[in-house]
């Protein structure tokens, strides 16, 4: 039965409002504010993400045209471009980062039983970063090259549901491997990485935490082969060796044994070499684990194409991080709704339906039922259907 609420309000009802208030109180976000609270700011920015607004002026024009509907959307004050710009600039971005992490924790619980293509009980994380190019004259704090600015999104993606469990935003000069310093490794979990994260001391830390890693090796590493295991070459595995490092510094940083797997990929005609500290899984399963790392690349492509994280509404570091974290919150929120409403359509279709129906007073389940129509033509290509 239609409750009379707009779809935007029904969508926001899935948010844990008490958790949001705790995040605001933690950083005194509403201190001495009389109008336009942090919740109003979040709702305006969420509206901008869902409806693909281009600028602050665009947000202001659309919300003002809604008139009396603003109250039913939960926005209690008149929206002004300067007010929203000031809120993005001065209100602590950590409010929205903490709130996003609360949503992430909820989403991971919902998707914990999902499969990611391999029959493994352990949690598997894919680790990578993506660059967002910026104009250095507008974002002088975002140092990257002499004439270029950029920020990096360092991400640890839980492959069960493609939920970003850890996201850190830095300027472009920060090397990927420094992300490993920020993580607390989960015992028994797998961390799948590209060779940009190859640092033997940090990899040894993963092993000491009783966790496992799968990483692509660099060609110049000097090793000592201890013995080889039998392999089935029909699977693409060419060798499975137990090794130690011969180089002085490499052996000092990683004194334990490692497993070196040589794999030939027929699809790409490439020869890949992986290093792992797991000695129980088959060599082919290790290679398949690395193939699953591609999901984090798809995640980056997806959010860049379908969320507003390439064009920003403010130029300060606080405004940029606020927008990124609210975008991540919306991504995770829609993933939560998809699971709780038992929808089977792609996340892309759900967002597209929401974008043109935010002011409608239709029950959200009824509005999103079209997202489950598997016979409808998909506008996006297959590589972006992360939730199929």
Q: Tell me the two tokens of residue 47.
A: 């509206």
**217: in domain:** yes
Rg (CA), the chain: 23
pLDDT band at 373 (very low <50, low <70, confident <90, very high): low
* pTM confidence score: 0.89
Q: Do 275 and 331 share a domain, yes or no?
A: no
**101: in domain:** no
Q: Do 210 and 322 share a domain, yes or no?
A: no
Residue whose C-alpha is closest to residue 237's, from 295, 203, 276: 276
Read off the pLDDT of residues 296-344 as tens digits, 9 standing for 90 and up: 999 999 999 888 888 899 999 999 999 999 999 999 999 999 999 998 8
Read off the pLDDT of residues 130-142 as tens digits, 9 standing for 90 and up: 999 999 999 999 9
Q: Do 230 and 343 share a domain, yes or no?
A: no
Q: Do 211 and 273 share a domain, yes or no?
A: yes
Q: Do 290 and 361 share a domain, yes or no?
A: no
**380: in domain:** yes
Q: Do 144 and 282 share a domain, yes or no?
A: yes
The total of structural domains in the chain comes to: 2
Per-residue burial over 182-191, b = 16 or more CB atoms within 10 Å of its CB, e = otherwise: ebebeeebbb
pLDDT at 71: 81
Q: Do 210 and 292 share a domain, yes or no?
A: yes
Q: Do 132 and 36 share a domain, yes or no?
A: no
pLDDT at 227: 93
pLDDT band at 265 (very low <50, low <70, confident <90, very high): confident
Q: Do 154 and 252 share a domain, yes or no?
A: yes
Distance CA 274, CA 289 (A): 10
Q: Do 148 and 260 share a domain, yes or no?
A: yes
Q: Would you say residue 382 has pLDDT above 70?
A: no
Q: Do 134 and 246 share a domain, yes or no?
A: yes
| Last residue in a domain, options 240, 268, 298 | 298
**289: in domain:** yes
Q: Do 172 and 294 share a domain, yes or no?
A: yes
pLDDT at 103: 96
**82: in domain:** yes
Residue 36 three-state SS: coil
Lowest-pLDDT range of 66-80, 222-236, 323-337: 66-80
pLDDT at 306: 87
Mean pLDDT confidence for 274-279? 95
**2: in domain:** no
Residue 334 structural domain: 7-96+316-384
CATH code assigned at 177: 3.90.350.10
Mean pLDDT confidence for 335-356? 89
pLDDT band at 230 (very low <50, low <70, confident <90, very high): very high
């Amino acid at each position: 039965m239609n409750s009379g609420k707009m779809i935007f309000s029904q969508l926001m009802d899935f948010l844990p409002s008490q958790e949001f208030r705790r995040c605001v109180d933690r950083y005194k976000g509403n201190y001495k504010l009389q109008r336009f609270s942090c919740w109003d700011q979040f709702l305006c920015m969420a509206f901008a993400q869902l409806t693909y607004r281009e600028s602050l002026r665009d947000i202001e024009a659309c919300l003002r045209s809604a008139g009396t509907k603003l109250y039913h959307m939960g926005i209690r004050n008149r929206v002004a471009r300067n007010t929203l710009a000031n809120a993005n600039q001065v209100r602590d971005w950590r409010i929205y980062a903490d709130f996003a992490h609360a949503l992430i924790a909820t989403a991971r619980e919902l998707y914990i039983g999902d499969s990611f293509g391999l029959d493994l009980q352990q949690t598997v994380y894919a680790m990578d970063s993506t660059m967002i190019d910026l104009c250095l004259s507008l974002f002088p704090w975002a140092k990257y090259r002499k004439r270029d600015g950029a920020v990096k999104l360092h991400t640890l993606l839980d492959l069960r549901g493609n939920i970003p469990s850890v996201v850190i935003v830095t300027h472009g000069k920060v090397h990927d491997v420094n992300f490993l310093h920020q993580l607390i490794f989960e015992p028994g979990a797998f961390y799948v990485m590209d060779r940009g994260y190859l640092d033997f001391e940090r990899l040894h830390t993963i092993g000491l935490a009783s966790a496992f890693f799968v990483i692509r090796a660099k060609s110049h590493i000097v090793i000592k082969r201890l013995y080889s295991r039998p392999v089935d070459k029909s699977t693409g595995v060419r060798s499975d060796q137990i090794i130690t490092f011969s180089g002085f510094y490499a052996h000092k940083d990683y004194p334990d044994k490692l497993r070196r797997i040589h794999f030939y990929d027929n699809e790409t005609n490439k020869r890949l070499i992986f290093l792992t500290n797991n000695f129980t899984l088959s060599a082919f399963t290790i290679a398949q684990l690395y193939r699953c790392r591609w999901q984090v690349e798809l995640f980056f492509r997806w959010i860049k194409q379908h969320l507003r994280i390439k064009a920003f509404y403010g130029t300060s570091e606080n405004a940029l991080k606020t927008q990124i974290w609210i975008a991540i919150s919306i991504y995770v929120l829609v993933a939560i709704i998809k699971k709780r409403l038992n929808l089977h359509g792609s996340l892309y279709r759900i967002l597209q339906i929401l974008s043109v129906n935010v002011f409608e007073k239709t029950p959200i389940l009824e509005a999103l039922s079209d997202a489950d129509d598997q016979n409808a033509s998909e506008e996006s290509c297959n590589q972006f259907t992360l939730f199929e």
